[in-house]
């Protein structure tokens, strides 16, 4: 399976200048490839592919000498990115979704480079990057498995990080027969089928006043001035703090669940549709259900746990005791069955239904199809 390792880099001013220059060269190349594809289709109705653009890099280096200061595979990765952007665009067109044609990248809007195979090496506690140099970094844990790629990214607060993608073997945890149903929500972040809950930390709500304060100062600064740049960075720092706290929280809670339970049942939510509700969109984004589900899924796969994603339809409206279904408003926080008289917390009832549906789907998968020979 694929595993990612992230490390903070400690770059000097000279290295920062080189990295920023490299990003600008990659941004220029990305915009150049995008312009090529756009012009080719408008003039001759021909679509360019990755190979045709990748082989043109050698000629471009003769015309733009500064491209020679960037590692060849980093430049080839730019062609990969523009190719993936168009493949995603055509997929959305075919599916009838909102298309979103690939856009040109403005200054500062290209913030990462990738070494796909070679050009990077860890030696003596430092990261050596071709065409850039040896960079000190916080090597807080050893890399495992086979390293596939190295991505250098600049955050909005001008911090630098290195991310390594590695192919590793799964490390199953000791077997557990415990099963749990999980209902995510806004009142409580998680309600388990055993009745326990995890409170919703609401990280964005906690720092909302601080964010509003720095945003007001930003709006008063004149565009294009050093003062506006300074205040924009202050806004980015607040967003980064919220993101880091939320990321740490979801990682830790997902790990606790995976360590404890062998079968994990959770709703397969489509948050993209749910955030269209203007009254709840901010709270849904703050809760980060998709992020939690993503972390839970890959940790469960690595630990050899079974995870079942069930259709969330009617899990809150169906009585887990008798199966009777009745419509509830979002404000109805207690489940009261008019058929059998069962009363419990609304989210607990949903978690019990999710557990039942999840375990049923797992048992159905384990049954082999009958032979008719």
- Residue of 110, 104, 109 lying closest to 39 (CA atoms): 104
Q: What residues contact residue 288 under an 8 Å CB cut-off, 6+ apart? A: 246, 250
Q: What residues contact residue 141 under an 8 Å CB cut-off, 6+ apart? A: 5
Query: Is 286 tagged catalytic?
Result: no
27 with 108: CB under 8 angstroms?
no
Among the options 25, 83, 267, 286, which is catalytic?
267
Neighbours of 292 (CB within 10 A): 22
Neighbours of 58 (CB within 10 A): 11
Is 211 exposed, middle or buried, given 0-12, 13-18 or 19+ CB atoms closer than 10 A? middle
Q: Tell me the DSSP string of 57-107.
A: HHHHHHH-GGGGGS-HHHHHHHHHHHHHHHHHHHHHHHHTS------PPPT
Q: How far apart are CA 300 and CA 256, in angstroms?
A: 11
121 sits in which H/E element: strand 120-123
CB-side neighbour CA atoms (13 Å) of 314: 8
Cα 27 from chain centre? 22
Among the options 25, 83, 286, 347, which is catalytic?
347
Which residue has 């799964």 as its token pair?
Answer: 170
Backbone angles phi, psi at 131, to 5 degrees: 75, 0
Which residue has 């913030």 as its token pair?
Answer: 111
| Total number of residues shown for the chain | 373
Query: Is 267 tagged catalytic?
Result: yes
Q: How far apart are CA 9 and CA 46, in angstroms?
A: 43
Q: What residues contact residue 56 under an 8 Å CB cut-off, 6+ apart? A: none
Q: Tell me the DSSP string of 133-194.
A: EEEEE---S---SEEEEEEEEE-TTS-EEEEEEEE----PPPP---EEEEEE-SSEEEEETT
Q: Active-site residues: which are they?
A: 183, 267, 347
């Amino acid at each position: 399976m694929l595993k990612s390792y992230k490390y903070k880099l400690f770059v000097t001013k000279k290295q920062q200048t080189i990295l920023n220059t490299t990003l600008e060269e990659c941004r220029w190349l990305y915009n150049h490839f995008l312009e090529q594809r756009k012009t080719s289709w408008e003039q001759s109705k021909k679509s360019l592919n990755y190979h045709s653009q990748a082989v043109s890099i050698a000629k471009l280096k003769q015309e733009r000498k500064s491209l020679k200061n960037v590692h060849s595979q980093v430049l080839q990765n730019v062609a990969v990115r523009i190719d993936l952007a168009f493949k995603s665009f055509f997929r959305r067109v075919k599916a009838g979704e909102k298309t979103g044609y690939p856009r040109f990248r403005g200054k500062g809007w290209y913030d990462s480079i990738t070494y796909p195979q070679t050009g990077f090496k860890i030696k003596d506690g430092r990261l050596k990057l071709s065409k850039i140099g040896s960079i000190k970094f916080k090597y807080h844990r050893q890399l495992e498995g086979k390293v596939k790629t190295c991505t250098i990214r600049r955050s909005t607060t001008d911090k630098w990080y290195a991310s390594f993608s590695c192919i590793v073997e799964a490390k199953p945890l000791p077997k557990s027969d415990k099963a749990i149903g999980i209902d995510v929500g806004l009142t409580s972040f998680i309600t388990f089928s055993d009745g326990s809950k995890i409170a919703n930390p609401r990280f964005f709500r906690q720092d909302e006043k601080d964010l509003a304060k720095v945003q007001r100062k930003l709006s008063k600064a004149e565009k294009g001035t050093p003062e506006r740049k300074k205040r924009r960075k202050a806004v980015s720092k607040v967003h980064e703090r919220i993101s880091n706290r939320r990321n740490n929280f979801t990682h830790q809670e997902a790990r606790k669940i995976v360590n404890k339970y062998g079968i994990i049942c959770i709703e397969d939510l489509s948050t993209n549709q749910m955030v269209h509700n203007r009254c709840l969109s901010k709270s849904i984004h703050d809760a980060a259900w998709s992020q939690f589900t993503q972390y839970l899924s890959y940790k469960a796969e690595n630990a050899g746990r079974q995870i079942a994603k069930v259709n969330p339809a009617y899990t809150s409206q169906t009585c887990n005791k008798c199966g009777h279904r009745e419509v509830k408003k979002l404000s109805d926080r207690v489940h009261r069955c008019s058929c059998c008289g069962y009363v419990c917390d609304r989210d607990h009832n949903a978690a019990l239904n999710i557990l039942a549906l999840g375990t049923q789907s797992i048992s159905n998968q384990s049954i082999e199809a009958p032979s008719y020979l």
